[in-house]
A and B are shown apart, each in its own frame.
Chain A
Amino acid sequence: MSNSDDHDHDHNAAPMVEEISDFEVLEVAVRELCIEKGIFTQDDHNQWTEYMHTLGPLPAGRLVAKAWLDDDYKQLCIDDPVKASLAVGVDWVNSMPSKFGTPSDYCNPRILVDEPKVKHVVVCTLCSCYPRPILGQSPEWYRTPNYRRRMVRWPRQVLSEFGLQLPEDVEIRVADSNQKTRYVVMPTRPEGTDGWSEDQLAEIVTRDCLIGVAMPRADRKVDDKRHVHKAIHPYGH
């Protein structure tokens, strides 16, 4: 151990991950067992992992923008969301490497269409069901027990914590995704977007709008820089 006043660099590099959770250990153990038993191969696993990393919320945002501009397409989103998803490049059955989904990723999407007086919001109280093929990985907060317990019980309060204050005359409809349907919210088209193109509209349909915890706004785009609140009492001062 060196003295504080010399500058010997004999310390070890800090590990990138200090510890892994029990669940991560379990995942590795089960995965390795599955490969050993021939249930799937390492290549299958790589292919699946790479596929999951290609996913994100852009196709669902595009779907909503198209539906805002085309009533026939909007009706298709309601009647046959699997077919409607093809128009934004998502094949719920065949995009996935398994060609049928997984025990969690089922192929039964449903688009919940908001109305001026009805607001939908999605939660999975069981765990983390999420329309991954069209929306990517769920945000961390979506999987927390806090969100899952409270969204069904106190939806208005939880939405207000997300900054969405619903007027009293707007009915809220919580969708608990507890079986094989995967919900996507189609919010209402906001004011100030008259004459906008599909590309412009798609830019304001954020992931949170598609889960239902936010409403799209003409002045807020998916890739906007977020406002940074400076600390009042910065550390070390």
Chain B
Amino acid sequence: MIKSHHVEKATGVGDPQCFKGEAGAAKFKVGDRVRIRNLPDIFYTRSQMYLREAEAVVVKLVYESPPAEDEAWDNTDSPEWFYSLLFKQTDLWPDYPQKFSGDTLETELSERWLEAV
């Protein structure tokens, strides 16, 4: 039975729990306004195109984990903080009805995708 280092680390602990404490100090805090960077994603990403360059508010620091772009290649060397971000639907979609300007979308991105506004 072959087991990767990641499996040994996560067994009985859980993923992403097994990366707790590995990302260092978080760059952003709850309430911060951020913009989603439009980074290249030649090989793999989970950062959706519809979020790129949109602004959002940090609502929760959710966990530490290697970003998907690294983890896809079994690279778990550099875990990052992940943030739950709240977007206004009217910021994401140009023709979203202003009548429903309170509608929002929440999703998560890792720290490398965020820049302070």
Contact = CB atoms under 8 A, between A and B. Distances in A.
Contacts of B46: 126, 178-179
Tell me the interface secondary structure of chain A in the complex. loop
Contacts of B17: 93, 107-108
A98 B102 CA distance: 42
A107 B14 contact: yes
A97 B26 CA distance: 33
Nearest to B92: A152
A101 B15 contact: yes
Interface residues of B, number: 37
Interface stretch (A167-175, A196-204, A216-224, A225-233): A167-175
A223 B13 CA distance: 36
B99 interface: yes
B31 interface: no
Contacts of A39: 2
B14 A180 contact: no
Contacts of B84: 181
A136 interface: no
Nearest to B97: A156
Contacts of B104: 171-174
B11 A176 contact: no
Interface residues of A, number: 35
B68 interface: yes
Contacts of A40: 1
Given A100-B15, A106-B15, A108-B62, A178 B107 contact: yes
Contacts of B109: 179
A41 interface: yes
Interface string A188-208: 000000000000000000000
A180 B11 contact: no
Interface string A95-112: 000111100001110100
B70 to A, nearest CB: 13
B53 interface: no
B82 A179 contact: yes
B76 to A, nearest CB: 12
A83 interface: no
A168 B99 contact: yes
Interface string B7-26: 10011111111100000000
Which 4 pairs, one residue from A and one from B, show the smallest C-beta to C-beta distance? A107-B14, A100-B10, A176-B107, A171-B102
Interface of A: 37-41, 82, 92-94, 98-101, 106-108, 110, 125-126, 152-153, 155-156, 168, 171-181
